[in-house]
Every structure is written in C-alpha cells, then in structure tokens.
Structure 1
Amino acid sequence: MHKRLLNLLLALALVGCGSRNDIPAQNPPPPLTTPTAITGWAVTTTSVHLTWDPVPGARAYRVRIRSNYTETETLGTVSGNSMDTEGLTPFSTYFFTVRAERGSESSPYTQEFGLHTHLDISRFPAGDPDLLDIATWNIQHFPISGFDTVSHAGELLAAMNYDLLALQEIENPQSFQSMLDLAPSYQGILSSSAAYNVNLALVYNPEHITVIEYFDLFPDDILAFPRPALVAHVQFDGGTPFWVIAVHYKCCGDGYIDEDEYDDEELRRLNASKKLANWVEMFHPDEPVLILGDFNDLITDEDSRNVFTPFYDKDEEWFFGDMAIASDDNALWSYPSWPSHLDHILMSEEFAPIFARETASIGVLPLHHYFYGDFSEYEQTISDHLPLHMVLEPF
C-alpha cells in the first residue's frame, strides 16, 4: 500500500518537472515606432488641432511645443492620436513634435511640424467692396522663410480683401500658387522674365477686376529694367478701363546720378522713368495709368539727384499719391528698417479728380503690428517692406 502511494507521488512529481520547453514562450512586444503623418490646422486665433497616424502598441502620445520666442516644452499627453490645444497667441507660428509611449518605453520624436494661429481679422482694415482698393507690396525673396512666409502672407492677403495688388520679389512659382490657395478670392499673374527670378506679380479679385490683357514691358532692357515692368489693362466693376504698370526699379547706389557710368544705379532708375513716361505718352496719352511698386528711391530728392524728373517735368500729367507720406518724417514709411519710403503709387492726371475726393486715402499698412514680435518677426517672416495701400472711388 505504502509502496504504491510512493510510486504514484513519484510519478506526479516527474510530470510536474517536465521540460520548460513545453511552455509557450512569451514574445516581447515590438519596439514603438515614431508616429507618422503628423498634421494639423488652426481652429481659432488662439487654438490648433493636431493629428497623426496611430502607432501599434502605443498606450499614450507625448506632444511638445515651441515657438520662435519660447523653448521646447511638453504640451501634454493623450491616449489617442489627436490633440487640441488652446491659449496660444494670435497669428503666431508654433512647432510641434510627437512621440509614442508605452510605460517606460518611448519612440523617438517626430520631426517638427509647424503651423500658425489665425489672424484676428476683427482688428484688420479689410477692403471696402464699393471702393477700389489697390496696394503694392514687396514680399522680400518670397518665400523668405518657406512655410511661415506662405501661410502668413496667404492669410494676410485673404484678410485684406483688396481688389488689386502689385507684388515684387516672387522667386518661387509653386509657393506663389500656394499663397493664392490660402486666399481663394484672388487670381494671380506672375512674370517670369526677371533677372535671378526676382519676379513681379499682380494679384486681383476677379469678382471686381476684369483683366483685359497683360504683358511684360521692356523685357530686353536689363539695365533700366532688371525686372521688366508688368503691364495689365483692367476694369473695376465694368467701369472705365485703366492701365496698371507694376515696377521694381534697380536698387542701391550712392544717391547721385552719374551719367558717365553706364551701370550707375541712379542712372538706371532715371532711364527707367524716362522709358515709362515716353511709353505712356506714345501709346496711352489720354488714358488713366497707374505705375506702382518698389521704385527703390526717394520721390523727395532735390532735382539734381531725383530719378523721377521725367514725371516731374510733366507735372500736369503725373502725380505721386504718396507724396504727403514721403514728405513727413513722422509718417510710417514703407521701408522702416532704413528708414525710408521707397514704394510709391504714381498716377496719371486722369486719376486726380477721384483722388481729390474725401473717400480717397493712401497709407502704409502696419502689418508688423499683427505679429507677436512686431517688426523684427514681420521682417524675419515676410519682408523688410510694408505695403502701400490706396483707396479710390471707381471711375
């Protein structure tokens, strides 16, 4: 009896001591991978929404944030693959990174994803639908800061709601189109004949502006016009057609016209003025003409140094709408970093009666005030020039 019991217990013990290979192995979970397809959009002036593809095995996601003025810090953790954040600064750029987490294990962070909060358009002086809003804006080396420039400029354009803008220094056609995509009420005309691809463009609202024709002017005169003038014949709300000539004169120089130096910068600007005045007189002497853009010179210089004498010599035919701005040392000028006023709107005599009306106005737009870092951030993100904006009653 006892012997049988001992044998039974021994058999049971041997069964319990079987090989560990008989037990299925527990495979460790695969390592966490970095989240992909991070994207997002602004929801309001102070909030954004982020999303990314889920990572297999992740139990949480940690999101970090930084701006141009703050160090990287943890924004928070979420269990899902999206996050909403509030309390941000209006019209400011933020950069986000995300990593997957599982207990003490974590993946590498994603590359930074940047987006900016919306402009507070309640503070922005949008165009009047019953008046003709025209502006000139040198968007320096567009896009000088890539995504930041495109997104900010696109939202500014949309908020302006102007009828016609002359733009300078458009260097990337794809970015130009991306900017227009963010301001869908506009269409654009982009020149492609400028030296070093620093091209001119016209942006217009087809709801009010009809473009009859457009072309480059003086494309072979690289001395007077390193950026050929861009000409358009347009109508506002079916009214009297007028000509728009967008220009970007040669920059720099020493402030004096040296006629013995063929490539003297002031001489080149003077010759550009001569050619434009002669062209209008020859082909469109009795039609309304606007010449606007970055003229890279002062309209207040004394006669011996003034590159605009071809227009001043015919002062019964031409006038600068922004002369009062250029003559006022306390005014906001279009090139404040110098400071100087280099961007102008020149009009033929046909515009004089409507420019004299009380509804007419002209001024430099203080776009830098909409940036958290004021002009330093505006200059870094958009341009070293501010737009010059004019409002007129239509013909």
Structure 2
Amino acid sequence: MSLIINPEKTRIEVASEQTFLEVLKSEKKDHWKEWVAVKTQNGTTDLTRTIGELGSGEHEIEWVHRDSPEAQAVYRHTMSHILAQAVTRLFGDARVVLGIGPTIENGFYYDILVENRAIQEEDLPAIEKEMERIIKENYPIRRFSLPKDEAIAFMRDKHQLYKVELIENLPEGEAISFYEQGDFVDLCRGPHLPSTGIIRSFKLLSLAGAYWRGDEKNQMLQRIYGTSFATKEALQDYLQYLEEAKRRDHRRLGPQLGLFHIDTDVAAGMPFFLEKGVITLTQLQTVWRQFHKEAGYIEVMTPLVMHEKLWHQSGHWDHYRENMYFIEKDEQNYAVKPMNCPGHIIIYKSQARSYRELPWKMAEFGKVHRYERSGVLHGLFRVRAFTQDDAHIFMTEEDIVHELTDLIHLIDRMYKVFGFAYRVDLSTRPENSMG
C-alpha cells in the first residue's frame, strides 16, 4: 500500500497491518508526540487504527498537530472518557449510569447518573484528582467493534441502560464501536488519543442538571463540564477569559445595574424590565424609529393573542405548535403569537391596495412568546418572551434588487451605531418549511 502524506506530498510504502501510529513514529522520530490523530478520506481518525482499514491502493493522509482545532476535539473527547472513568471509579460501577459525553465549543461534558447519590460541586476536586491518576497511569486506548446484538448485551451486562437505548436506535447491520482504557469501556465513534498519558492540562468547570435526551419527561442526569488544552499556558489563558466573562456576565450585571430581573418561579424565560432597563429600551426604540422612518417604513402593532384559524392558515399550527402557547375561551382556541408575520399579512389584506402604493413597508416592535425547554434558558440570550423588531416589504418583482439593497444598508447602519460586527448566512426553504 502507498500513503501520500500531506502537505509535503511525501509518498511511502506501508503494510496494511501497520497502524498510523507506527508510521508516525517512523516519520517524525522523537517529535511524534506533537501529532495526535490523522486525517484520511474518511475524516479524522485514531492513530491506533490500521492502515488496511482504508482499503487497498493509494491514500492521502495528513497528521493532525496538537495545536490544531481538530486536535482539540480529540483531546476533549478523550477527556470526557477519562471523566466518566474517574466518576465510575469513585462511586462504583454498579451505581454509575452513563449518558453521553460529547465535545463542545471550548470543552466537553458528560451526563451521569449516580444512583442514590447526587454529585456536588464539592466532589469536583476529588474527581479531578482521580482523572490525574488515570492520566498518570497512561492507559493505552483501544478501539474494538461488536455486532449490534452483542453490543446491546455487552452494555446491558454493565447496567448501562442509556447506552443500550442509544445502540438500539442505530441502524441494523452496523458494527458498534467501543473504546477501552484500563478497566473502563465506553460506547463511542471516536476518535481518541493513543493513550491517556498524552493529556497535559485540563480543568473541570461546573455542574448542572440535564434531562436525558433533553426531554423533561425523562430522568434528570448531572452534567459535568470541563475543558482541556494541549498546553498549560493555553488552559490558563482560557480560565482567565472565563473569569473575565463572569465579571461581564449580563445575568449578573443586569440586576446589579437595575436593568432587568428574572424570576424563574413565576415567569422563567420572561424578563421583568426595571426602570433603567425601560429607559434603555426606550432610547433604542427612538433610534430604531428614526432610522425606519427615514427608510420609508410605517410602524404597526398586532394583537398578542389570535385565533387558531390564522395559525392553521400560516402553517404554524402544523410546523411550530410545540413552541407555542395556547388559550381556550368560549370553546374557541387561541394562540399567543410566536411570530409577527401572520399579523402583518392581515394588516396588508385589510384594504384594497394598488400596485402604485408599492413598495409598501411596515415594521413593528412585536412582543412574541416561544416555548423553550427550561434547560436551555439563558438570561436574555435564550428566553420565552422577547420583543422582535420585525419588518415586511410588499413589492413588485422589479423592486426586489433595489429594496433588498436598501434593507442591507439599513441593517448595516443600525448595527454600526452600536459597533456590532456581524455575518450573514443565507437561509433557504428546508423540506419541512412553512409560509
């Protein structure tokens, strides 16, 4: 077999039974530890996989350096397994039931249930110490696969019922992969580091509750968050960044500055705006109204609650119902509006209009309500009630380019007033679209 190693385009001959790690050590000599994974036509994969898994013939690969974004994901994926192994050691195999442990931006987490025992913030230092032992013991990380029925039996024997559920939902005939390090085995697609001892720096950050599969009807698990970096310096820089972010956290500053209050007992995800917050919002609205008036928009207001027939007609009833709030009065069904669009259409249709009136532009500070699971609510960033500055333009086909250009200029002008940098993503109509 031949490998072409990018970016140098070096061609070497290898045996199919060789692992990528063996080739890496041969190529990089004493510096091989600087690389943690390999990119192939199948994506990023483990160094411990055999080259023969790529198939016969010639293949291009590229080593993944420890400072690359791809490497961070591999580090953190391995760290989530080390975390789960540490918790299992501390609290016992029979008591620990594992959920999922993915990587996320800047870190990782693992959802865990310890039977008859809640993990506390005070437990995190002990868990960290056990993780350090696992790293020091430098267990080789081995990947193996089982047929689906054997994988289910394997996890059931270990009392890992959440893993059983995950496997049962996988396609028939698919080989199920596991990773083993020391006395610990976990269901996982990978990739992972060659051994636990490669980890250099990590930190457990926090503890939170999380429903299994995000469904409030399911068991509440405990989610342990952590992060890992290739160097101690990078970890320290990130921890300092987190401290600064805490000092600037709007959830803390908002109440301190008298801007808003959130009471999770009476209105979770629905902020109470205080005097200074209302003053701030009023000033924002003044600027908004000035800019929109200059751009030719009229301001409108639409009802907060509207009959269900409107939401059937708009498609929200069929496509967005799980995110809406409903009211029943006099044997009639109503919905609290999650969007302003249907109301704007009603206004436009309220009287006969000539093409000479086009383009016709309307805008609204519309209060909308959208149901979000309690676990994802986050200050003012993820809420259930918010004011949306919505606008709709009715125009002829000939006006499209001109009006869209003016709209982009309006958005750009508004954002520049506040010094916002932004990017634009094009959204098209998905298969399950409405409207």
Higher strand share: 1
| TM norm structure 2 | 0.22
| TM norm structure 1 | 0.23
The structure, 1 or 2, with the larger RCO (C-alpha pairs under 8 Å, 6+ apart) is 1
Higher helix share: 2
Larger Rg: 1
